[in-house]
């Protein structure tokens, strides 16, 4: 199953190095102070082959661009109420943009239509009180209702037992999967064996 794999909530240098060695495509760093995976300082090692994704919640343009320069970000992932115009402004400055949308019902997928042409990917996460990281799944059957042309990553509660359900998703705009809290020993520290097993199962031919 040839899909992008993004591992989010990274923070520790050796853990970053080990996860990158598994051949993942994107690595997420959370710059939201209320998150238990908040990155307070530049890790001693940052990925060189995986794309660096900075996660922000209702942050200012200036703060995002400053962080992008300091951490060498390839993408910014916006997890708040950022408008399409805000995404367009960041794109105009050379940033690749991923807009996260909270999904609880099929109507929520329509919100993605407003971001056509102003972000590179959408990220569909589970509707919850906090901004992501709930470890809970939404009804993935709802994805069939998405009619936009922007490719998306699926997030929210994916774990080692999700492979069969992920394989069953046939949407042509499904670009990849975002994994986080279900693959951790503690917040910000990923469990290598569970990620490795997940990737092996995902790539295994039926």
67 tagged catalytic: no
- Give the DSSP letter string of 126-164: E--SSSS-------GGGGGG---SS-EEE-SS--GGGHH
8 tagged catalytic: yes
Catalytic residue among 8, 87, 119, 178: 8
Tokens of 97: 């943009």
Q: What angle do CA 131, 82, 151 make, to 5 degrees?
A: 85
Catalytic residue among 67, 125, 128, 159: 125
Q: Which residues pair with 102 in a beta bridge?
A: 125
Task: Count Cα neighbours of 131 within 13 Å in the Cβ-side half-sphere.
Answer: 23
Residue 197's φ and ψ, nearest 5 degrees, are: -65, -40
Q: Which residues are catalytic?
A: 8, 125
């Amino acid at each position: 199953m040839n899909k992008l794999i993004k591992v989010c909530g990274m923070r520790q240098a050796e853990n970053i190095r080990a996860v990158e060695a598994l051949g993942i495509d994107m690595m997420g760093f959370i710059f939201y102070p209320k998150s238990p995976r908040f990155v307070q300082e530049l890790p001693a090692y940052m990925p060189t082959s995986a794309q660096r994704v900075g996660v922000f919640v209702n942050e200012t343009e200036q703060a995002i661009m400053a962080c992008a320069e300091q951490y060498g970000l390839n993408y910014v992932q916006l997890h708040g109420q950022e408008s399409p115009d805000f995404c367009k402004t960041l794109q105009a400055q050379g940033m690749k943009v991923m807009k996260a949308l909270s999904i609880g019902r099929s109507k929520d997928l329509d919100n993605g239509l407003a971001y056509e042409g102003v972000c590179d990917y959408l990220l569909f996460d589970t509707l919850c009180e906090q901004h992501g990281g709930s470890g809970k799944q939404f009804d993935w059957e709802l994805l069939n209702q998405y009619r936009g042309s922007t490719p998306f990553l699926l997030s929210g509660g994916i774990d080692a037992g999700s492979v069969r359900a992920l394989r069953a998703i046939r949407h042509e705009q499904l670009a990849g999967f975002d994994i986080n809290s279900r693959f951790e020993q503690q917040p910000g520290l990923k469990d290598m064996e569970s990620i490795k097993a997940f990737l092996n199962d995902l790539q295994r031919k039926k």
